[in-house]
Structures are given as structure tokens and as C-alpha cells.
Structure 1
């Protein structure tokens, strides 16, 4: 099966001017923030009560996320009488997904890694999320005959194009990503191909990459390898065979520097094994990092280098890969608090935030204090501006300051 699967339903144009005007008004009412737009366009800081808030130059919704949300909203306008289902989450932000549920869009949940499509009929509409869906899932939905609204991000589809090319060249796709992430699962399914003979291996970090590199150079215990990468390799994967010719790709929301290092290390291992003169026969790679992801990482690094900050707040969904990497960058430089909304700012003494290392929320005491403090704020590509505004408002509330008065004085 190829990406050009025959549709059983006619294509419907959701992006007509009339529909988009309706969508724009509704989306803005739910997610727009005049405060954030003012600070973004003017580049100003907001100060009062001993707190100065500074925003990164790039943060929040990217084009791919905006497009996915627009299409989901448009679906409710174009198909007002049909049952509308969403495959999992449209993006990794709980507030946005809850809003879609409130609009009547039902969620299809995965059970043991496989979406339950029981009860779907040809009269139903299914929305595919921004990170795409596995080939087999798409095939099952199309066999039912559902109307499909595909919001898959263009950057994700660029990666799919690359892994299909690797497959056609007989190369194994080594995917730098999270094997459990929806996007990586979708990419891996494209690496396998219609005949099921394509191969993939997902590496999560540099430790796993080094293990693979050592196997490429020297061989090793095949069973140990397969056990280590259980759930992260294609069916029938044989490291003694399928690591001879490889192409590197990635989950688009990984950190660029790490993906580049994965590429460099695997390239060197292949070169050591087969010789520099034979490198082109055994190794392929393309830059498939999402531009918006990189822009937000660069903007955060720029703010950390340029500004004197006492702490950083990262706003976004806890299961958002690109947001997690922003928090990871911050942690390496200064106290960093990863929150999903303003409610996590309990008081000036307590903040409830996501601990990346423990995989759970924790409470930190004495995080804000009473003195002068500079706070940096950024947000992942799936975080709407209204959540950022609420975070800023809550920060100043903790010092008894209303944001409206600060804006009036700053203009």
C-alpha cells in the first residue's frame, strides 16, 4: 500500500473563505491573547511588583499546529450533522483537545497500541492529527469508508518521503525519536512499506546510538540487541543484516544538535566498518528537523544568552516532545519549571511542575520568593497564547499586581 491510497469518499474543500472566516473568529475567541501579541510585536518586557517578565522571540503555535486546529474547527462547520471523531489528540496540548471535545468531536483511543475503530461507519468523519497516523490505521479507516480530514504536518510528511526513499534503496531507516510517540510510529510504518519488507530502528538518545555504532563496527549479541530495542525495531529485524545499509531520519520535534550527533556517530561507525571510499554505498541522511521546532529552540538559547534571568517557565503539554526539549534546554542553564497552565502556580512559595526525569508532577517550595526577579517565559509549538497570557497574569497576581495597570503604564 502506498501513500496514495484510493479514497472511498470524495474530497471536500474545508478551507473555503466562508468557512475560514467562521473558523478564524472562533479560534481567536478561544486562544487569542492581546497581551501576548502586544509583547511579541513590541519586544517589550513587562515589569511590576519586583517581577520582570521576558518572552522568547519565538514561542507557541507554529503553522502546522494552527493548520491542524483550523481544519478541526472547519470540520464542525462543514459536517454539522455528522459524527466527528479525532484519532487520539489533534496536538499534544490538553486544553486544546478538551476544547475540541467540548465542541462535540469524539476521541478514538488506542488500546495496546491499536486504535479501536469499532462502531465507525461510512457516514462518519475522522480527523487525523498533526503528527499523522500509521499506514495500517489509515487503511482500516478508509476500508470503513469514513470521510477523512487529514491534518498531518507537512514537515512530518517530508520525513515520510525520506524513509520511503531509504526503503526503495534497500536501506534501513534509523529514526532518532521516541518509539512510543505517534509521529515516530507513523514514520516507522512508512519505512516498512506496502510489502512489509522495509526495516527500521528507533534510537532515543546518544547512549542507544553508541550501542548501535558498536554493533555496526564489531557485531555483538543479536538477542541482546533485539531485547534492548524491543518495540523499537521492525518485524524480522536482524542487526547482522539490516545495519549494513542505513539512512538516518528523525522525529521532527527532537533537538537538532542531538539528531546531528546521531548522524555523525552512525556515519563514523559505517566509515570505520566499510571504509570512507564505500560510505556512499552504506549511509544516507537528510535534515528533517521541523523548522518551527528549531526556531523555538534557537529563540530560547538566544534569550538565555542575552538576558539575565533568574528562572524560566516553559508552558505546554507534558506529553509534547518539542516542549519537553525546551524545558531540557532551560534545565541546563537555570531553575526551570515546566507547567501546563497557570493553575500550577499555586503561590509565590509553591509551584507544581513536571519533572522530566521522574515523569511526574512535583511541588517545589520557595520558587518565586519576595525579592526582585527576572522571569523568562517560552512555550512549545502546541501551546496557545491564551495559556501564556494566563501564566503571565498569574505571576503578577502573586505579587498583588494587575496586568492591565502595567500595560496602561507601558504604552
Structure 2
């Protein structure tokens, strides 16, 4: 029987996700007769996306033929620079819900890559990364891990600017900087990892050290949730779930203390359902 359930303080929606969803909710309320699109999934959580689909919100992309009067919301991950410029030329209403931390990263990369090669630590197929890369003004080198960077040939005669996807592993980002210094690579490092991401990962690690088992709640396609699972896996056995339906209570009953953390795109009601099921 589970004796104790501990929840990480910062589990659930981050500031950027909350802002994006508030903007979408307001657009739905204020424009009952308009077609509303998000450019790609507004956040990486299937349950939230289903709720908005039921409200009539459609998911569009760069190939969607928007009609005059349509409302198009730029999601929290941001979009490529060229796509945003193309949208502004159409007779549609654009609502920019890009996370402020992502927008800051885009602008920093745009400014600092003018005379430097961009080294970007991020997931190749992630929508935020595609947007960040579009702001680069020079050559680009994209890598997903320190291990991948070790296999790349960098030119010690060039100037580099190092940046990261906002939800990347902060500790690995520090390790990357240490490696570049040891290789005598000339670079400047941009502070683009969201502090909320760093704090959430630290909390998850500290919690994992105290418990017998960790549960990570959030979308399987959510990059920041997958990284939470990765960091806690070093300290405790864990399970990454999207909803409480995936819990095996018989299996979990052998653990006396269970810790719970959740990704930045995980709604509070899903976290509450997990806790309630464990308590039952």
C-alpha cells in the first residue's frame, strides 16, 4: 500500500503555456462566428488538444489556405520567421501566443549570429527549434546532445554562438560549454534555457532522490516532459504517463513513497486525477 505521495511544487502549466491558452480562450469567446486556427498544436498535450477540437479550433500549418477573416494563433513554441512574415501579408487576424522566453531566444539568436556560427542544442524535429533556426543570420550547426557534439568537427578559427532550445537540460548545457572551452573554441553562450524549465528539473531530481518511485505526467510528444523523465531516471525507477488510466495500482502498491512531477503542458486536472487514483 502506498504510504506517501509527494508532488513537485512546479508540476503543470508554465507561464508560457498559460498565456497561450488564455489568448486562445479569449479568441474563442470574442469571435464566435470566426474560424480559429492554431499553427500546429498549441501545446504538446493530446487531452488539451481534444478539448479545443471540440470547441471548433482547427490545427493549421504552412500549407493551409486561410480565408480572409480567419483567426490564426501562433502557438507557444513560436513559428519560423519567414512563415510569420507570409502570414502578415494575408487578410487574416494573427494572434501571437509565442512564449516570451522563446521570443527572447529568437531575438538573441538573430542579433548574436550575425558574425558568428550558430551552435544550437536542441531537438531536430521540434517546432520551437525550427523557429529558432530561422532567426540565424549565419551558418548553423544543430546537435541534440553532448555526445553528438563530440563527433562534430569544429573550426577553432571561427567564432561561435551557443544557444539552446528553451526546454533543454541545463546541466548538459553547462557540460557542453565546458567541452568547448577545453577544445579552445571561441564562443559566447546565450542564456536561452527557461528558468522555469531549470527549476522544474531541479525539483524533479531532488524529489526523485527522496522517493522509491517517480511518476512523470504529460504528453508523450512533449519535449520538456520527456526530459523530466530523463533526468529523474538517473535517480529512481519511473513511469511516464499521459493520464491516470495508465497507472497499474497493483504494481505501484509495493512502493512506500511515490513522487509526482509533470510537464509544462500538463493540465492541473490530469495531475489531480493521478493523485486521486493513487490515494484510492
Question: TM-score under structure 2 normalisation?
Answer: 0.94
How far 1:55 sits from its partner (Å)?
0.7
Cα distance between partner residues in 2 of 1:210 and 1:58:
33
**Cα deviation digits, residues 66-112 of structure 1 (max 9, x gap):** 10100010111122211111111111111111111111111114xxx
Choose the corresponding residue for 1:216, options 129, 136, 155: 155
Report what 1:181 is aligned to.
Answer: 126
Higher relative contact order (CA 8 A, sep 6+): 2
Report what 1:303 is aligned to.
Answer: 207
Report what 1:333 is aligned to.
Answer: 235
Report what 2:13 is aligned to.
Answer: 61
How far 1:294 sits from its partner (Å)?
0.9
1:89 aligns to 2:51 (yes or no): no
CA contact (8 A) 1:94 1:317 kept: yes
CA contact (8 A) 1:87 1:126 kept: yes
How far 1:372 sits from its partner (Å)?
5.6
Report what 1:233 is aligned to.
Answer: none
Cα distance between partner residues in 2 of 1:72 and 1:94:
16
How far 1:138 sits from its partner (Å)?
1.2
Cα distance between partner residues in 2 of 1:67 and 1:166:
27
Report what 1:388 is aligned to.
Answer: 271
1:342 aligns to 2:244 (yes or no): yes
Q: 1:207 to 1:372 in 2, by over 3 A?
A: closer
Aligned residues: 280
Report what 1:230 is aligned to.
Answer: none
Cα distance between partner residues in 2 of 1:386 and 1:108:
27
**Cα deviation digits, residues 355-390 of structure 1 (max 9, x gap):** xxxxxxxxxxxx324x46211101011111100111
Report what 2:75 is aligned to.
Answer: 129
Q: Which runs of 5+ in 2 are unaligned?
A: none
Report what 2:183 is aligned to.
Answer: 269
How far 1:269 sits from its partner (Å)?
2.3
Q: What SS does structure 2 have at the residue aligned with 1:260?
A: helix
Report what 2:259 is aligned to.
Answer: 376
CA contact (8 A) 1:162 1:286 kept: yes
CA contact (8 A) 2:109 2:136 kept: yes
Report what 1:72 is aligned to.
Answer: 24
1:154 aligns to 2:100 (yes or no): yes
Q: What SS does structure 2 have at the residue aligned with 1:143?
A: coil
How far 1:253 sits from its partner (Å)?
0.2
**Cα deviation digits, residues 18-54 of structure 1 (max 9, x gap):** xxxxxxxxxxxxxxxxxxxxxxxxxxxxxxx543211
1:161-176 equivalent positions in 2, closer than 5 A = 161-168=107-114, 170-176=115-121
Q: 1:254 to 1:154 in 2, by over 3 A?
A: same
1:317 aligns to 2:256 (yes or no): no
Cα distance between partner residues in 1 of 2:255 and 2:201:
27
How far 1:244 sits from its partner (Å)?
1.3
Question: TM-score under structure 1 normalisation?
Answer: 0.65
1:199 aligns to 2:139 (yes or no): yes
Cα distance between partner residues in 2 of 1:153 and 1:372:
38
CA contact (8 A) 2:205 2:235 kept: no
Q: 1:203 to 1:246 in 2, by over 3 A?
A: same
Choose the corresponding residue for 2:84, options 106, 118, 138: 138
Cα distance between partner residues in 2 of 1:68 and 1:180:
21
Cα distance between partner residues in 2 of 1:381 and 1:300:
13
CA contact (8 A) 2:208 2:214 kept: no
